Amino acid sequence: MIDWIPMVVLPNAVLREAIDMADFAMVPPSDARVKAACRRQPRLRKFLHRFTDAFGQKIEPAVLMIREDAPMRYRGTAPVAGFRDAVAISTLTGGRATMISHNAGMRRPIWAESFAIYPWMLDRLGEDLIANTPSMMGVHTVDLFHGQSFAGFSPAEVGASEIDRPLFEALSRCWVQRFASEDVEWEDRAIFRSLNMAYQACMMPGGQEATFYDIGRLITLWVSAFEILLHTGPNGGSGKIQVMDMLDGADWCDKRLSELAHPVRANKASTKNRTLASSIYYRIDGLRSDFVHGNDVTQDLLVTDNGTNLLHVAACLYRVVLTTKLGIRRPIFADDDEEERKFLPHFSEYVDWKDPQDRHERAILKAAALPEADP
């Protein structure tokens, strides 16, 4: 049996079950792989049991682990962050969509702090705690350690139902392409640069001191995540036109979202009819420009006409652009008699695609004050 090595812990993530990708896994402390690691390194068990919230209530941090026989190149900072970012974006975008459509998070994670990596971790020998951040390098003993979750944050549970399965599976394949070799294509690198920017855009705007300027900063990060994703390489570029073209060509379920019925300014002298999603993105891009260039911005510009926060809508649009970029489209079934016996497995595949797609479409329609379906 192959051993699994603990690499970092995430005290704000409340996992119901393991999340696996290639040679990595994010698991709850009850997972057999963690228990086996604790038997090999007794101080790991002590470390994991010394986490509480700010009021002393015990918490169980999630553990990010790697297979012992995984390639050494997987153990660097970038592969770990790439795995975390893929899990986070596959979870948080759906949480934002639920926040919009239900006016509440429904206990789904919506903030990136859910997946924040704790700075202290047991060393490879299982003896001392070490920390290595841009601010400090430190070594300490487990017996004096008192770990805490983020005090200004309410953790949410993460399980299979919160994971956008088609997106996560596609990102899993991209993760291997990005980190399994030193010879990396521009597109594979761009995907994980974009995911990292999107992860930062999913952070809370701040604590008690948060203002709408902090929301503007996050909207700026969202636009950067879009443009990094669609950048074509050293001699190319990307901007709002490329993003809107991708949204216009997305595989929409609701026909109202595929209609080119919304005038968007193409240049100073003309407009072009685009999809509803593109018209919303055009507004988000304009907000980014105003914030970056110091133009006058008022708080009412941060929401749609019905009060939906554009910060949450940006996450939904990003999921649409990301899945379109990755080629995630509805399964196509043959309708002849010979293929009828294959309908059930195909139908399951279709449902897996349609559920998260519907979730984000409902949110975009809600943001535009449109009903979920035609009467």
Element containing residue 15 per DSSP (H, E):
strand 14-15
pLDDT (tens digit per residue) in 143-202: 999 999 998 898 888 988 899 999 999 999 999 999 998 889 999 999 999 999 999 999
Of 100-114, 232-246, 315-329, give the lowest mean pLDDT range: 100-114
| Crossing angle of helices 276-292 and 212-230, rounded to 10° | 120
What is the rounded distance in angstroms from the CA atom of residue 75 to the CA atom of residue 300? 45
Whether 368 contacts 276, CB under 8 Å? yes
Residue 340 confidence (pLDDT) above 60: no
One-letter amino acid for residue 90 of the chain = S
DSSP3 helix / strand / coil % (the chain, rounded to 5): 50, 15, 35
In Å, how far are 30, 85, 308 from 45, measured between CA atoms?
A: 11, 26, 44
- Residue 44 CA to residue 190 CA, distance in Å, equals 36
Q: Which amino acid is at 375?
A: P
First to last CA, the chain: 57
- Please check whether residue 250 is in contact with residue 266, taking contact to mean a CB–CB distance below 8 angstroms: no
Measured distance CA(92)–CA(111) in Å, rounded = 7
Mean pLDDT across the chain: 92
pLDDT tier for residue 347 given thresholds of 50, 70 and 90: confident
Kindly indicate the confidence band of residue 336, based on its pLDDT and cuts at 50, 70 and 90: low
Write the burial class of residue 198 (CB in 10 Å: 0-12 exposed, 13-18 middle, 19+ buried).
buried
H or E element at residue 147: strand 147-148
Please state, as a whole number, how many other Cβ atoms lie within 10 Å of the Cβ of residue 203. Answer: 15
Query: Radius of gyration of the chain from Cα atoms?
Result: 22
Place of tokens 């919160």: 162
> Given a cut of 80, is residue 375 above it in pLDDT?
no
Cα–Cα distance measured from residue 5 to residue 28, given in angstroms and rounded to the nearest whole number: 14
Element (H, E) at 79: helix 77-102
**Residue 309: is its pLDDT beyond 90?**
yes
Q: What are phi and psi of 20, to 5 degrees?
A: -110, 140
What's the token pair of residue 268?
């100073």
> Given this model, what pLDDT does residue 338 score?
54
| Antiparallel, parallel or unpaired: β 129-132 and 120-122 | antiparallel
Classify burial at 201, counting beta carbons within 10 Å of its beta carbon; exposed 0-12, middle 13-18, buried 19 or more: buried
Q: Tell me how far apart the alpha carbons of residues 304 and 301 are, in angstroms, rounded to a whole number.
A: 7
- Closest C-alpha among 50, 85, 49 to residue 64: 85
More confident residue, 105 or 354: 354
Nearest-10 Cα torsion for 311, 351, 333, 360: -10
Residue 341 has pLDDT above 60, yes or no: no
pLDDT one-digit tens code per residue, 244-260: 999 999 999 999 999 99
- What single DSSP character describes residue 7? E
Q: How far apart are CA 94 and CA 315, in angstroms?
A: 8
DSSP summary character for residue 126: S
Question: Over 50: is that where the pLDDT of 41 sits?
Answer: yes
Report residue 192 CA to chain centroid gap: 11
Write out the two tokens for 262: 């919304």
> Chain-centre distance of CA 268, in angstroms?
35
